[in-house]
Structure 1
């Protein structure tokens, strides 16, 4: 039903054409009428809105409850309706009149109007927003910017815009190709693993022949007159013929499998970025800017990825390098080789399917890096399993494949005969185990790849009927989108996508999904969440989803084609990109040169101790990393200083041309950043030989040492220059903008904070050697942490530490290079807290000095006198050194008063503090009276009030005495009322 839906929908001459104009339909310079391209959808012209709403609800329910074979095919159909074109020859009124002539509700053509189609599509998209929001960022952007969505549902457009802004699902199908051969493994490939010397030498010879065939295919397979069977068929059969023993077949099958994994793991068969996997050249980055690097990657992707993969439900295929391995199997025509290959594939699949992937939710001790590593590991295992399962299915069902339609009698005979044999891989049992252990997100995708290659008879076998029935139960029972249960949404969407694709594969019977017959298995879909199960772990992201299901990209391509053909977007013209070549800064080696270099390095290390290779790799990694750090500390730092000189006194934070001026300076200096590549090479050339000569034995052969130096130098230079090539421009811009922003902030004036018209620059002759504000704040926090936190017996703050801190503070405040108003305000608050702690005797001061000076104001305690010296220093700093208003009123706020009442205060210090504040005119008596309203709000004890009342006698000033007595009287009244 689903396969013919679109064809049936367009069978009427008046039906809409849901397919947008193709690029071949119009040339770039052709004049195309907008009316012939797109009919403007109008929400006011929708007819039968009530019926369409009901239809959309029923249709959405079928999608949500998995009552359709492929939910993404339905979404594709809905997007076709959203982007449909109306018949240019029919007027809206005529169309509406024809619709109303049909009285039978079933026979009425509700979708004969473009307005009705768009209305229905928007309704369905709104109800399926949970699925739509998980699509890639580019698709979300196209939907959010759709004029039709905005015209029919502003709320949906707002939700799409929010989903787009919060989405990080950038999907790229570019994969770096792997061109190296499988490395030599001593435990499986050396002489001891073969029964005879002859067998060992035959395998080595056949291994070389295999790679020669692969290289010949790489060089010629894209030529129009080149044919695989004609050019390589006889060579392959001759090679296989000489694999006489079972041991040789087994070893070659293992080599074939490993090379397959190394070259083909990925949605494009490993060729998605062939020759284009390198990072962009520095000159290209400088020309476009680092901000446009993502656009550059998308443009690159348009050049190297196919425009279409065959629609939303393409048949199984072997893209990229997979084509070579498929054709190799077909040309070999060897049952013996195929059997050994199936054995090797089965063994690897069973091992990988049971691999331990820690996929439970992150704990307190688990970092984001660990979680990302789990995702990468899971993705690698899953892609490998899918690749191996595809080739296992291909080889398993190859003998039964036919393009002819079998009669019922022949089919029944074949089914009866093949029911007597058991498959080489028990997929049914592995699927059951995965459901019970909640690992379906790993097992089902590769099982789908295996089953997608079935021959026409296999689905009717008893064994595979049970397999398909189990998958159907899983699809309808466990993957319901509205039920959370024990599976993450993206995990569920992955399974829905691959299963939906399987149900549309041509070799799978079309009526399988809608058949009422069901084979019940002894398997229960437990609702108990297994916290260690992979199904409930965040392992699938959009990159993996689109990697396993590249046909989901057809949704984006459908919307892109609509935008490209829309007259409202570009006047009806199709944009054509004509690429121009850019010369790289340095010549790049060809593909053949890279392969030859890799083979030579592999041969060199094979004849040397393993420690040599490890040392070379270690030196290359560390020198490359240090090279980048060296460039940052030298070249980038010098460029930043030049930028400061160029922009000095030219910009302020409110300058209208601030951004333009900054960008122009960054662009100019980024040109000088090209020196980074050359300086990086010089650094590596100097440091690599030095490091190797220190780490390697002195007895090493000079030739070996020279070769090792060349290899390490190449690796280190490649590592450093690759990073610099990609990031140096962005790094320079970021450092310049950061430094200039600090300079601008230092020149800013904050009226609410600064109370005096003071020069914000350092005094003449300042060498900027004073303690930085950040370091002073850290020292202050150390004192406060000892005061407030748990401490050992006898631990405390040395008195000299406090005096040194207060001696350094004036110097810090006078050096304005790193001083900004917010920082200075924070320093002022820290000193207020310090004063409050001193008065409340909360700081555990040790090593007090012996003071013989005259007693101040009749104080007898040496500790009190020492604290008075500290308070005098604070008075002087508050009065003379701060350029901001010191919040002295905070001394009498809720926190400090509470701290004062809980401690056993030195009331002489409290009086000394208040007197000093008034005498220095930091606060007036009236201000103190207003601030001390907090005092009598606390339920103080009578003893404490008595002490406070006696303290008032220390004030000689009449105003001070009366003010404090008033406060005491009010506090006494509060205590009396509470009692």
Structure 2
């Protein structure tokens, strides 16, 4: 069947489509021209393609005679389009202007499915020209010379997924079309789908860094794309690696439920109102407001329900009672808080941070499969499209209620008080400061995640408030059509004399200077997206747009590596979207204004700087820029249209009802519980709420740390034992072995939630009882304990359910890598070597960590090299103890890896070089005896003792070769050359020790000394070096007569030291 169906079956739509009349005229949406090509919009070609696809899909079920007339019409239309299109593939090459037909950037041509052409690299023509065009186009994207980099990537993906036709391949057979194509420069380069795909793949290769930072689903579709695999195997391999290493799973769930704002005694009690009447009016208005809100929530999705018709009169009647100024102010504050509570959007997924799954669900699916359950939920409830890659500003979800409320109320007083409240909250949130936390072995601690979460909540709240502020500020001037020239000139003359409600220009300049643009620019973009047609031409807003344009052009992704890549990507994404908003003039991007101010960012990072902190992840990027998901949808639709040839990514989901695994509180019950908690805190002192929240935060954090230190540590130890047994087996695949062990442990990792609940239930009440006054009544104490336990459990279990699997895998992987890095660990046939490199019998693994020893030796080297304070010395006894602890660390192989061992070897060689050059200020701690010709000075005796310890450690304890040749490097010999009194006896003692302990051969030392003589040293140093070399050779010729190396050294070099 597959062979018989050929292309016909593969290109059938994956679902039935009911055709609806489509008009090419779009009076309310004016396409905008872009830097490289026309905007993505609906065209006659694409409308025809959809109609043709419908007809093809329903062909078998319709009587052929009844559609004969439509077929004739389609043939005529198709012929006309082939003559009108700029190329046989239907791809326009000139930007659309009002005088040109508005064809889209779509690279697919309306045609029957059996005419779809398979892209073939061998059929690409004009490769050199296409390569030049790809490089030029990619440079424009990389240097931010296009208004929106993601719109260009969308266009490139359209080229990649273009469905050329066999008729297009033969288009040149028509002499008239061929002649017209030859007359138009450059059009022949994209005359076939093969050229289009080649160009797209080349551009994607150049823009790989941007693509690799997108979400995982997008990378999966690119990695599975057969066209990329056939046109560029290298890019295909890189994309597959990026997909496998990516953890950027994005959720776009937007739950919306009404939770009323709690009563605030500080601002809403009777003392804040001028009279009892005003206070009672506010309470009544508050009740009416929530009645309206719940009515909207219950009915807004019903067919035929209209906001203005049902609620308009009720809202205006309610607003008529808000006569007093204080009532307007209080209601505006309530309106703003309710707006934030309902519409700020999710962080890290659809559910709230503390929303944990049922234990039965977790046991059945495993914690690792919860993300799949969330993605399945997304496919049922998330809208499939948001009107293209550059949608106009909108008010989705719950935001519709607040927008329609403002429009129906039509109250100037309320709007003014609401703008004041919004400005005040924006200024408060814009001053966000974060506490820096040190990283612990690369693990993102809970406190760091809390800071990122706090930033994300602040950013989303700022964008929401700024959107409504912009809506209110520009509401009086908004119009569907652009005003006439005379009206625009008079409006400009008048509006240039007014001051803005919020000085966003000052805030923007300050954020750039303080390096906080990642927080400020996104909400300023939301504010400006609601401008009317005249506002961008005002002097004030010209400066704002000019400054934003400079930021956009200077924020090149390939430069300034200190700033987080995703931070820059978010700023570029929101600015690119702003430049495509219909009310923003398109010439803004391409017109250079000499009046634009120049700015220079401070080189010194401010203490409050946020730009260089990696605060943005893919979840926040896609939450702020949901239109980036259109890139994935474009690729997914191509896969769906190609049937199962790309792995069948699009699968039909048949929902079936399942019995509840456990009784779960309904949404109404949870709302009631929240209201009861708020009522409880309302009747208690504010300090009680702060205490309960503090206890919940600390107990939750301590719970996670306790689970890490107990359950996770125990699982890692068991995993280590399992890995040690299996890793020595023959033909073992390390990655597969690691995955098997981790999968086995995931089931037991689910116990973390049970242990977490037990921990919170035990520690929460104890902390509450300690912190609350002893006079607190038993009932209040019991309620406070219950709330604290519940909040702490939500906090801890929420983190554990989302991260326990990844945490176990990370810890086991780190342990496994450490095992593999131990030299000789898994190798067979090296028993003797393995015995020496394993821990000694009965080792308790209590030796100091290699990093600790490295730091202590470096401290000694810093004192030796200087500069150092007067009287700063190194105690000889302490240094001997340090070398002893170094020996213990090297003997216990548990925490030793090749890198740390090599670093220790280099540090000890450096220490030996400084000892023989007398650069280490040793403190002897004893009274120096009188010197005699038969004995070395006490100081040199101490140095000899330290060198002997080093010889023993180099010989016995190191499992890797020690680079003792570095002693003869130019840098280390310069220490000896700079010494006021050169210690040649110590140096010769060092040479003898290297030979005796078989660390170097005599010939190697002679060669090193000979090489040193050829370097440009002071003349006296060269003479001494030559004498040393002769003495060294002479001593080894009479080696059998040597007794004590130190004594013989003193006797042999008497003349050398005297002359030095």
Deviation of residue 645 (structure 1)?
Answer: 3.5
Question: In structure 1, the residue corresponding to 2:725 is in which secondary structure?
Answer: coil
Question: In structure 2, the residue corresponding to 1:320 is in which secondary structure?
Answer: coil
Tell me which residue corresponds to 1:672: 748
The answer for unaligned runs of 5 or more in structure 2 is 1-29, 60-110, 1054-1060
Does residue 844 in structure 1 map to residue 915 in structure 2? no
1:182, 1:259 within 8 Å by CA — same for their partners in 2?
yes
Q: Deviations over 1:927-954 (max 9, x none)?
A: 5434433453454445787788789988
Question: In structure 1, the residue corresponding to 2:645 is in which secondary structure?
Answer: helix
2:134, 2:203 within 8 Å by CA — same for their partners in 1?
yes
Tell me which residue corresponds to 1:325: 402
Does residue 713 in structure 1 map to residue 789 in structure 2? yes
Deviation of residue 673 (structure 1)?
Answer: 1.9
Stretch deviating more after TM superposition (670-679 or 428-437): 428-437
> Structure 2 matches for 1:585-600, cutoff 5 A?
588-600=664-676
Deviation of residue 578 (structure 1)?
Answer: 4.1
Does residue 788 in structure 1 map to residue 865 in structure 2? yes
Question: In structure 2, the residue corresponding to 1:569 is in which secondary structure?
Answer: coil
Counterpart among 77, 94, 119 of residue 41 in structure 1: 119
Instruction: Tell me how far apart the structure 2 counterparts of residues 801 and 893 of structure 1 sit (CA, whole Å).
Output: 28
Q: Deviations over 1:684-740 (max 9, x none)?
A: 111122222222211111111111111111111111111221222222232233334
Question: In structure 2, the residue corresponding to 1:649 is in which secondary structure?
Answer: helix
Deviation of residue 319 (structure 1)?
Answer: 1.6
Deviation of residue 89 (structure 1)?
Answer: 7.0
Deviation of residue 620 (structure 1)?
Answer: 1.4
Deviation of residue 805 (structure 1)?
Answer: 4.5
Instruction: Tell me how far apart the structure 1 counterparts of residues 186 and 537 of structure 2 sit (CA, whole Å).
Output: 39
Instruction: Tell me how far apart the structure 1 counterparts of residues 724 and 900 of structure 2 sit (CA, whole Å).
Output: 22
Does residue 259 in structure 1 map to residue 330 in structure 2? no
Q: Residue 3 and residue 121 in structure 1: after superposition, are their counterparts in 2 closer, same or farther (change >3 A)?
A: farther
Tell me which residue corresponds to 2:596: 525
Tell me which residue corresponds to 1:974: none
2:164, 2:192 within 8 Å by CA — same for their partners in 1?
yes
Counterpart among 452, 468, 472 of residue 388 in structure 1: 468
Does residue 348 in structure 1 map to residue 419 in structure 2? no
Q: Residue 256 and residue 780 in structure 1: after superposition, are their counterparts in 2 closer, same or farther (change >3 A)?
A: closer
Counterpart among 188, 194, 203 of residue 282 in structure 2: 203
Q: Residue 924 and residue 951 in structure 1: after superposition, are their counterparts in 2 closer, same or farther (change >3 A)?
A: closer
Instruction: Tell me how far apart the structure 1 counterparts of residues 485 and 597 of structure 2 sit (CA, whole Å).
Output: 37
Stretch deviating more after TM superposition (313-322 or 809-818): 809-818
Counterpart among 99, 108, 133 of residue 177 in structure 2: 99
Instruction: Tell me how far apart the structure 2 counterparts of residues 894 and 412 of structure 1 sit (CA, whole Å).
Output: 78
Counterpart among 799, 805, 808 of residue 729 in structure 1: 805
Q: Deviations over 1:139-186 (max 9, x none)?
A: 576567655567678899899899999999876534575754334344
Counterpart among 157, 162, 185 of residue 84 in structure 1: 162
Tell me which residue corresponds to 2:385: 308
Does residue 957 in structure 1 map to residue 986 in structure 2? no
Instruction: Tell me how far apart the structure 1 counterparts of residues 519 and 726 of structure 2 sit (CA, whole Å).
Output: 60
Q: Deviations over 1:173-218 (max 9, x none)?
A: 3457575433434454222332211220121122123223323433
1:836, 1:896 within 8 Å by CA — same for their partners in 2?
yes
Greater relative contact order (CA < 8 Å, ≥ 6 in sequence): 1
Tell me which residue corresponds to 1:625: 701
Instruction: Tell me how far apart the structure 2 counterparts of residues 59 and 928 of structure 1 sit (CA, whole Å).
Output: 60
Question: In structure 2, the residue corresponding to 1:691 is in which secondary structure?
Answer: helix
2:467, 2:527 within 8 Å by CA — same for their partners in 1?
no
Q: Deviations over 1:902-939 (max 9, x none)?
A: 36344444455545555555555445434433453454
Instruction: Tell me how far apart the structure 1 counterparts of residues 232 and 957 of structure 2 sit (CA, whole Å).
Output: 62
Stretch deviating more after TM superposition (893-902 or 251-260): 893-902
Question: In structure 2, the residue corresponding to 1:502 is in which secondary structure?
Answer: coil
Instruction: Tell me how far apart the structure 2 counterparts of residues 19 and 849 of structure 1 sit (CA, whole Å).
Output: 103
1:137, 1:164 within 8 Å by CA — same for their partners in 2?
yes
Tell me which residue corresponds to 1:566: 642
Q: Residue 536 and residue 478 in structure 1: after superposition, are their counterparts in 2 closer, same or farther (change >3 A)?
A: farther
Deviation of residue 898 (structure 1)?
Answer: 3.6
1:393, 1:451 within 8 Å by CA — same for their partners in 2?
no
Instruction: Tell me how far apart the structure 2 counterparts of residues 582 and 535 of structure 1 sit (CA, whole Å).
Output: 51
Q: Deviations over 1:404-462 (max 9, x none)?
A: x99x9xx99999999999799856996877898898999998788678778xxx85x8x
Q: Residue 584 and residue 607 in structure 1: after superposition, are their counterparts in 2 closer, same or farther (change >3 A)?
A: same
Instruction: Tell me how far apart the structure 2 counterparts of residues 757 and 166 of structure 1 sit (CA, whole Å).
Output: 34
> Structure 2 matches for 1:179-578, cutoff 5 A?
179-223=258-302, 228=307, 236=315, 239-266=318-345, 273=350, 278=355, 298-312=375-389, 314=391, 316-329=393-406, 333-336=408-411, 338-345=412-419, 348-349=422-423, 352=426, 376=456, 379-380=459-460, 382-389=462-469, 391-392=471-472, 396=476, 470=542, 493-494=572-573, 497-503=576-582, 524-529=595-600, 547=623, 550-567=626-643, 569-570=645-646, 574-578=650-654
Does residue 904 in structure 1 map to residue 984 in structure 2? no
2:492, 2:538 within 8 Å by CA — same for their partners in 1?
no
2:876, 2:923 within 8 Å by CA — same for their partners in 1?
yes
Does residue 2 in structure 1 map to residue 80 in structure 2? no
Q: Residue 163 and residue 16 in structure 1: after superposition, are their counterparts in 2 closer, same or farther (change >3 A)?
A: farther
Instruction: Tell me how far apart the structure 1 counterparts of residues 486 and 941 of structure 2 sit (CA, whole Å).
Output: 111
Output the aligned Cα RMSD.
6.3
Q: Deviations over 1:872-891 (max 9, x none)?
A: 55555566666666666555
Deviation of residue 124 (structure 1)?
Answer: 8.5
Q: Residue 191 and residue 298 in structure 1: after superposition, are their counterparts in 2 closer, same or farther (change >3 A)?
A: same
- State the TM-score, normalizing by the size of structure 1: 0.74
Deviation of residue 310 (structure 1)?
Answer: 2.8
Instruction: Tell me how far apart the structure 2 counterparts of residues 134 and 769 of structure 1 sit (CA, whole Å).
Output: 42
Q: Residue 211 and residue 741 in structure 1: after superposition, are their counterparts in 2 closer, same or farther (change >3 A)?
A: same
Q: Residue 848 and residue 928 in structure 1: after superposition, are their counterparts in 2 closer, same or farther (change >3 A)?
A: farther
Deviation of residue 661 (structure 1)?
Answer: 3.3
Stretch deviating more after TM superposition (691-700 or 371-380): 371-380
Question: In structure 2, the residue corresponding to 1:307 is in which secondary structure?
Answer: coil
1:673, 1:728 within 8 Å by CA — same for their partners in 2?
yes
Instruction: Tell me how far apart the structure 2 counterparts of residues 21 and 473 of structure 1 sit (CA, whole Å).
Output: 44
Q: Deviations over 1:49-74 (max 9, x none)?
A: 99999999999999999999988767
Tell me which residue corresponds to 1:651: 727
1:677, 1:724 within 8 Å by CA — same for their partners in 2?
yes
Q: Deviations over 1:386-406 (max 9, x none)?
A: 431354168646xx989xx99
